[in-house]
């Protein structure tokens, strides 16, 4: 088995989609190991998004992530890192496939950052690093 960090980002919490997103995760059969509502400060987000420092969307991304609470989830299951990213769909909600969280529930709001509802770790190394930041 494997663990990943999932975030329901501030747009997902603000739009009241936490339950819908959790329902999809649970229906898929992954196990909720830990879950908390978090209002991250800048330092925590800078650690989380270190790989994106310097990119044009970096500052707007941190501002967006500080705009309201996120739900952080420690999720477990066989191949859950790949599996959750498949459930989430591709980064851009406009082109994310129907049936995915971003494809079904996300849209392009024309803002400086893709408000794409969720985050999921992209590798075992990222998962270990990110879980230690949020839990
Ligand atoms: P996460 O699961 O959130 O990490 O999404 P991802 O792995 O699909 O995307 P990535 O790690 O490349 O980017 C992190 C976040 O930055 C995304 O989820 C978006 O919110 C934002 N982002 C990434 N790329 C772009 C971009 O090209 N333009 C804009 N405006 N935002 C972006
Ligand atoms: Mg990523």
Res 2: pLDDT: 98
Ligand whose nearest atom lies closest to the CA of 93 = 1
Mutate to test the pocket of ligand 1, among 10, 50, 52, 57 (most ligand atoms within 8 A of CB): 57
Residue 57 known to bind ligand: yes
- Provide the whole-model pTM: 0.96
Domains in the chain: boundaries: 2-134
Clarify whether 52 is annotated catalytic: no
User: In the chain, helix, strand, coil percent, each to 5?
Assistant: 45, 20, 35
Cβ(122) to ligand 1 under 6 A?
yes
Q: What are 106's two structure tokens? A: 């996300």
* Interval 60-118: pLDDT, tens: 999 999 999 999 999 999 999 999 999 999 999 999 999 999 999 999 999 999 999 99
Q: Which of 104, 94, 90 is nearest to 23 (CA)?
A: 104
Instruction: Domain 2-134: give its CATH architecture.
Output: 2-Layer Sandwich (3.30)
């Amino acid at each position: 088995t494997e663990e990943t960090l999932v975030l329901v980002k501030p747009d997902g919490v603000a739009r009241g989609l936490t339950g819908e997103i959790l329902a999809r995760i649970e229906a898929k059969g992954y196990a909720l190991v830990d879950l908390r509502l978090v209002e991250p400060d800048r330092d925590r987000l800078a650690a989380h998004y270190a790989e994106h420092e310097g990119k044009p969307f970096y500052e707007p991304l941190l501002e967006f992530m500080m705009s309201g609470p996120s739900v952080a989830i420690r999720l477990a299951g066989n191949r859950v890192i790949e599996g959750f990213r498949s459930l989430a769909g591709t980064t851009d909600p406009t082109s994310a496939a129907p049936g995915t969280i971003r494809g079904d529930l996300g849209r392009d709001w024309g803002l400086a950052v893709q408000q794409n509802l969720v985050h999921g770790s992209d590798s075992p190394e990222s998962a270990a690093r990110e879980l230690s930041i949020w839990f």
